[in-house]
Chain A
Amino acid sequence: MEFVQDLTTTLNFIVQGLWVTIGVTLVALTVGLVFGLVTAILRVYGNAFFRQVATVYSVIVRAVPVIVIIFILYFVIARIVNLSPFLAGSLALGFASGAYQTEIFRGALQAVPPGQMTAARAIGMSRIQAIRSIILPQAVRLALPAWGNEATLVLKDSTLVFVVGVPEILRRAQQVSARTLEPFVAFAAALLLYLVLTLLTTQVLQWIERRYRLQL
């Protein structure tokens, strides 16, 4: 009984970090989506210069631990431009996720048959129009399964922003644990929250995937 009560009190405290976790994840995913899409399009359709820049970004960022990027953004760049821990952490995660999303969207763009571009150009679309109206809608659908996977990875990586003091789920769990000296209860509560979040995210994404599946 006492354990259940402890868990409830603990959960109540930690749940306030839920919105922070969701916030970090959403900002990171959105930033990553923009970076990923733009870089992927440049890599597949850009000129030699843009292709080079996009490749360098993707290769370097994927070769570096995310936490290093978080530290650089928070301890170096946040000194120059004013960034809250929340923003520094989310942007760093987004910047890193963008590199992975680049690869996801690049693969999807290349999986759209070349005849789609040819047919779009043949009815008088410009290259940009064709990419926007014909290629992207198909590529995004093709990318959905892999993107969903990346979304859950970012959700779990959002724990990393705890190192710069963002009061998300794990940070709060650690605070509880330090105060109550009951690490099991604290981290069990965190675990439960992450489990629910991840499973929910997966369900929603699978629904979207089914809804927009391309019939080939």
Chain B
Amino acid sequence: MTTDPILRIEDVHKSFGATQVLKGFSLTIQPQEVLVLVGPSGSGKSTLLRCINLLSPPTSGKIWLEAEEITAPGVNQDRVRQRIGMVFQDFNLFTHLTALGNVMIGLSKVRKMSKKEAHDLAMLELERVGLVERADHYPAQLSGGQKQRVAIARALGMDPHIMLFDEPTSALDPELTGEVLEVMQQLAVEGMTMIVVSHEMGFARQVASRIVFMEGGVVVEQGPPQQMFDNPVHERTRAFLRKITDMDSGD
């Protein structure tokens, strides 16, 4: 059985001045895949995510989202981003808006819904992340885990075809990571295609359909979690995964 990939990244390069971060990165993702991207810091994981949703477009190379080449000239980048949800390490909730307002604003300003429609859908999205009772709270009144769940609801409200998570739990206290990972796991179960940059190896083992190890701006090795953890081909992969797995169980 073959399906059309939902995302195809072909030979993407990205440089900032003289610094080359991505050096010919290629990857294909099928619908409903949950891909966990790991690699040492500076290996280009975050840069890759920002290339995919064109927040900082690739220097060269091509990216297709479903049938559309989104790196082609003349593409409406705002419309592309609407179809790619993104969740940030430091949440980036809009500080002047309540939890509900954070989810609603994209619905009314970008999806052009009426106030009523936007309100109702936003409440549904907050329900998905278990935060209906926090709807009227401002970000400053929410815990880190709650903020990140609102950020996920905000992204989901745009009805994205794929979700990118940029270290969604690394700014959180350890006891708060669970609630965020649970929401992400639920999303995976519902069939959302996800690319997750994370060093949560428990999550990777349980939820990922594939683990991609990148270093120096290219893919070093990829495969199902079982194979990557138990029987990696490259010595670098083995060493890196052992190191972060040790850190994980260290506390």
Q: Which residues of A contact B (CB under 8 A)?
A: 113, 115-116, 118-126, 129, 133-134, 137-138, 141, 214-216
Contact = CB atoms under 8 A, between A and B. Distances in A.
A216 B157 CA distance: 24
Contacts of A113: 92
A136 to B, nearest CB: 10
B21 interface: no
Contacts of A214: 95-96
Contacts of B95: 116, 138, 214-216
**Most chain B CB within a 10 A radius of its CB, from A119, A137, A138:** A119
B141 to A, nearest CB: 7
B55 A115 contact: no
Give the interface residue-count category, chain B: 20 to 34
Given A118-B55, A133-B105, A125 B110 contact: yes
Nearest to B53: A122
Given A116-B94, A134-B94, A214-B96, A123 B141 contact: no
Interface string B130-144: 000000001111000
A125 B81 CA distance: 8
B109 A141 contact: no
B82 A124 contact: yes
B96 A115 contact: no
B81 A216 contact: no
A136 B95 CA distance: 12
A126 to B, nearest CB: 5
Given A116-B95, A124-B81, A138-B94, 13 more contacts: A113-B92, A115-B92, A118-B92, A119-B154, A122-B85, A122-B88, A122-B155, A123-B105, A124-B79, A133-B105, A215-B95, A215-B141, A216-B95
Judged by DSSP, the binding face of A is helix
A118 B106 contact: no
Given A215-B140, A215-B141, A124 B96 contact: no
B156 to A, nearest CB: 10
B90 to A, nearest CB: 6
Contacts of A133: 105, 109
B94 A119 contact: yes
Contacts of A123: 81-82, 85, 105-106, 110, 154-155, 157-158
A132 to B, nearest CB: 9
Contact of A122 (B86, B93, B140, B157): B86
B140 A124 contact: no
A216 B96 CA distance: 9
B115 to A, nearest CB: 14
B165 to A, nearest CB: 12
Contact of B88 (A118, A129, A138): A118
B106 A141 contact: no
A122 B109 contact: no
A71 to B, nearest CB: 42
B94 A126 contact: no
A123 B96 CA distance: 17
A124 B92 contact: no
B82 A115 contact: no
A118 B90 CA distance: 12
A186 B7 CA distance: 78
Nearest to A136: B96
B248 interface: no
B127 interface: no
Nearest to A139: B96
Contacts of A134: 94, 105
Query: Which of A116, A133, A216 has the most chain B CB atoms inside 10 A of its CB?
Result: A133
A216 B140 contact: yes
B87 to A, nearest CB: 9
A122 B94 contact: no
